[in-house]
């Protein structure tokens, strides 16, 4: 999704606890907050690229259900929701122009923080979104699902395309949200 594709509808797939579905369909998605997200604060979806995004969202919902500390599940019923995303100002970091913007932002932040301290990718994303008004961010990542978590496999080669929606109300019509998968985790 390049800047040329602004206002072009794309499908995103979101895996979650089934208990969250009625609230999402009634009020739209709620943003994840904090600094421990791939592309900063927002709602995360899997998108078309080189894998099956609905299956990726399903595998994510299953993997995220596990509470490692307590060795039990947070939830047993999962859903995959499909939503139509219509970005006004996307930043596609899978394309060369998007990568160049990220690199320029990193260099600008490096110059600014030399006297202040460190920074991380969330700072870069936040700076880009605030400076240029990007409402949707797209990037390829390697994400561990259940089997790769259990086997402790790491990689630098991406296996999914991730879409981060910074303000879901402005780019997702809640009437476009539909359930693609329902399942129970054994």
- Position of tokens 């206002």? 7
- With beta carbons less than 8 A apart as the criterion, state whether 81 and 177 touch: yes
Query: What integer pLDDT is reported at residue 127 of this predicted model?
Result: 84
Q: Do the beta carbons of residue 130 and residue 40 sit within 8 Å?
A: no
pLDDT score, position 122: 81
> H or E stretch including 63?
helix 53-64
pLDDT score recorded for residue 150: 87
Rg (CA), the chain: 17
* Residue 97 belongs to domain with CATH number: 3.90.228
- The number of folded domains in the chain is 1
Distance CA 35, CA 27 (A): 24
Dump pLDDT digits (tens) for 81-97: 999 999 999 999 999 99
Task: List CB contacts of 148: < 8 A, sequence separation 6 or more.
Answer: none
Domain containing residue 7: 3-184
Nearby residues of 177 by Cβ (< 8 Å), 6 or more positions away: 24, 25, 28, 81, 82, 83
Confidence of residue 129 (pLDDT cuts 50, 70, 90): confident
State pTM to two decimals: 0.91
Percent of the chain with pLDDT over 70: 94
Cβ atoms of 18 and 32 within 8 Å: the answer is no
Instruction: Report whether 173 contacts 33 (CB < 8 A).
Output: no
Using one digit for the tens of pLDDT, what is the confidence trace for 143-176? 999 899 889 999 999 999 999 999 999 999 999 9
Contact status, residue 184 vs residue 76, Cβ threshold 8 Å: yes
> 140 and 47 in contact (C-beta within 8 Å)?
no
């Amino acid at each position: 999704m390049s800047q040329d594709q602004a206002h072009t509808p794309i499908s995103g797939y979101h895996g979650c606890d089934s208990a969250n579905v009625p609230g999402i369909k009634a009020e739209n998605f709620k943003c994840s907050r904090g600094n421990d997200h791939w592309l900063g604060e927002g709602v995360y979806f899997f998108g078309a690229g080189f894998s099956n995004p609905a299956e990726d969202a399903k595998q994510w919902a299953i993997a995220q259900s596990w509470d490692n500390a307590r060795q039990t599940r947070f939830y047993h019923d999962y859903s995959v929701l499909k939503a139509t995303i219509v970005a006004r100002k996307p930043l596609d970091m899978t394309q060369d122009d998007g990568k160049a913007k990220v690199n320029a932002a990193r260099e600008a932040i490096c110059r600014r923080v030399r006297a202040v301290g460190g920074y991380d990718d969330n700072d870069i994303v936040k700076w880009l979104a605030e400076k240029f008004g990007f409402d949707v961010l797209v990037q390829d990542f390697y994400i561990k699902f259940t089997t790769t978590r259990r086997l402790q496999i790491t990689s630098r080669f991406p296996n999914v395309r991730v879409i981060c929606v910074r303000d879901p109300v402005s780019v997702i019509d809640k009437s476009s949200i539909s359930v693609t998968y329902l399942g129970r985790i054994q």
